[in-house]
Protein backbone atom coordinates (compact mmCIF):
# COMPACT_ATOMS: atom_id res chain seq x y z
CA UNK A 1 0.00 0.00 0.00
CA UNK A 2 2.86 2.35 0.86
CA UNK A 3 4.40 1.71 -2.56
CA UNK A 4 1.14 2.66 -4.26
CA UNK A 5 0.82 5.85 -2.23
CA UNK A 6 4.44 6.71 -2.90
CA UNK A 7 3.85 6.11 -6.62
CA UNK A 8 0.80 8.37 -6.56
CA UNK A 9 2.75 11.13 -4.85
CA UNK A 10 5.57 10.90 -7.38
CA UNK A 11 3.12 10.75 -10.28
CA UNK A 12 1.66 14.07 -9.16
CA UNK A 13 5.09 15.70 -9.38
CA UNK A 14 6.14 14.25 -12.72
CA UNK A 15 4.86 16.99 -14.96
CA UNK A 16 6.42 19.79 -12.95
CA UNK A 17 9.72 17.90 -12.76
CA UNK A 18 9.78 17.30 -16.52
CA UNK A 19 8.85 20.89 -17.38
CA UNK A 20 11.46 22.26 -14.98
CA UNK A 21 14.18 19.98 -16.35
CA UNK A 22 13.33 20.95 -19.92
CA UNK A 23 14.29 24.55 -19.39
CA UNK A 24 17.36 23.11 -21.10
CA UNK A 25 16.91 21.16 -24.32
CA UNK A 26 17.27 17.40 -23.96
CA UNK A 27 16.14 14.20 -25.62
CA UNK A 28 14.19 11.45 -23.92
CA UNK A 29 16.91 9.15 -22.61
CA UNK A 30 19.18 11.97 -21.39
CA UNK A 31 16.20 13.63 -19.70
CA UNK A 32 15.37 10.39 -17.90
CA UNK A 33 18.97 10.05 -16.73
CA UNK A 34 19.09 13.69 -15.59
CA UNK A 35 15.90 13.27 -13.57
CA UNK A 36 17.13 9.98 -12.09
CA UNK A 37 20.46 11.58 -11.12
CA UNK A 38 18.47 14.12 -9.11
CA UNK A 39 16.40 11.50 -7.36
CA UNK A 40 13.38 11.51 -9.67
CA UNK A 41 13.28 8.02 -11.16
CA UNK A 42 10.73 7.78 -13.97
CA UNK A 43 9.84 4.66 -15.91
CA UNK A 44 10.65 5.22 -19.59
CA UNK A 45 7.18 4.00 -20.57
CA UNK A 46 5.76 6.83 -18.50
CA UNK A 47 8.22 9.54 -19.51
CA UNK A 48 8.30 9.19 -23.30
CA UNK A 49 4.50 9.25 -23.80
CA UNK A 50 4.32 12.10 -21.25
CA UNK A 51 6.68 14.18 -23.39
CA UNK A 52 4.46 13.69 -26.43
CA UNK A 53 1.36 14.60 -24.44
CA UNK A 54 2.96 17.76 -23.08
CA UNK A 55 3.99 18.67 -26.61
CA UNK A 56 0.47 18.10 -27.93
CA UNK A 57 -0.73 20.42 -25.15
CA UNK A 58 1.66 23.10 -26.37
CA UNK A 59 3.87 23.07 -23.27
CA UNK A 60 6.88 21.63 -25.06
CA UNK A 61 8.35 21.95 -28.50
CA UNK A 62 10.51 19.33 -30.17
CA UNK A 63 12.98 19.17 -32.98
CA UNK A 64 14.67 16.24 -34.69
CA UNK A 65 18.43 16.55 -34.84
CA UNK A 66 21.21 14.19 -35.77
CA UNK A 67 23.58 13.38 -32.95
CA UNK A 68 26.22 10.65 -33.08
CA UNK A 69 24.87 9.54 -36.46
CA UNK A 70 21.41 8.99 -35.03
CA UNK A 71 18.28 11.06 -35.37
CA UNK A 72 17.05 12.16 -31.97
CA UNK A 73 14.04 14.16 -30.85
CA UNK A 74 15.06 17.04 -28.60
CA UNK A 75 12.45 18.62 -26.37
CA UNK A 76 12.45 21.99 -24.68
CA UNK A 77 9.98 24.21 -22.88
CA UNK A 78 7.76 26.37 -25.11
CA UNK A 79 6.86 29.93 -24.11
CA UNK A 80 3.45 28.70 -22.98
CA UNK A 81 5.17 25.89 -21.10
CA UNK A 82 7.40 28.42 -19.31
CA UNK A 83 4.34 30.38 -18.24
CA UNK A 84 2.54 27.23 -17.04
CA UNK A 85 5.68 26.08 -15.21
CA UNK A 86 5.88 29.40 -13.37
CA UNK A 87 2.28 29.01 -12.26
CA UNK A 88 2.81 25.38 -11.27
CA UNK A 89 5.89 26.30 -9.22
CA UNK A 90 3.82 28.97 -7.48
CA UNK A 91 1.20 26.33 -6.74
CA UNK A 92 3.89 23.91 -5.57
CA UNK A 93 5.33 26.44 -3.14
CA UNK A 94 1.87 27.19 -1.81
CA UNK A 95 1.15 23.48 -1.27
CA UNK A 96 4.54 23.02 0.36
CA UNK A 97 3.89 25.92 2.75
CA UNK A 98 0.42 24.60 3.60
CA UNK A 99 1.75 21.11 4.25
CA UNK A 100 4.46 22.45 6.49
CA UNK A 101 1.87 24.33 8.52
CA UNK A 102 -0.33 21.24 8.71
CA UNK A 103 2.48 18.94 9.74
CA UNK A 104 3.74 21.59 12.16
CA UNK A 105 7.26 20.34 11.98
CA UNK A 106 10.22 22.58 12.66
CA UNK A 107 13.53 22.14 10.98
CA UNK A 108 16.20 20.87 13.32
CA UNK A 109 19.62 22.51 13.13
CA UNK A 110 20.95 19.59 11.07
CA UNK A 111 18.10 19.86 8.55
CA UNK A 112 16.20 16.75 9.64
CA UNK A 113 12.48 16.84 10.54
Beta bridge partners of residue 66, listed in sequence order: 71
Other beta carbons within 10 angstroms of residue 18's beta carbon come to 25
- 71 contributes a contact to another protein by CB under 8 A: yes
CB of 11 vs another protein, minimal distance in Å: 13
Q: From CA 78, how far away is CA 72, in angstroms rounded?
A: 18
The residue among 68 and 87 lying less far from another protein, judged by its C-beta, is 68
The binder of another protein chosen from 2, 45, 101, 102 (CB under 8 A) = 45
The binder of another protein chosen from 10, 20, 25, 73 (CB under 8 A) = 73
Contact 80, 27 (CB under 8 A): no
Residue 74 CA, distance from chain mean position = 16
Q: From CA 73, how far away is CA 16, in angstroms rounded?
A: 20
Site residues (CB under 8 A) for another protein, limited to 74-113: none
- 20 contributes a contact to another protein by CB under 8 A: no
- Residues forming the site for another protein (CB under 8 A): 27-30, 32-33, 44-46, 48-49, 52, 56, 68, 70-73
Amino acid sequence: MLDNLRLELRRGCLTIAVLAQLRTEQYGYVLRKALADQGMEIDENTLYPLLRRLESQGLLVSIWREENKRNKRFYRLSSEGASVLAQLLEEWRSIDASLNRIIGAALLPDGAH
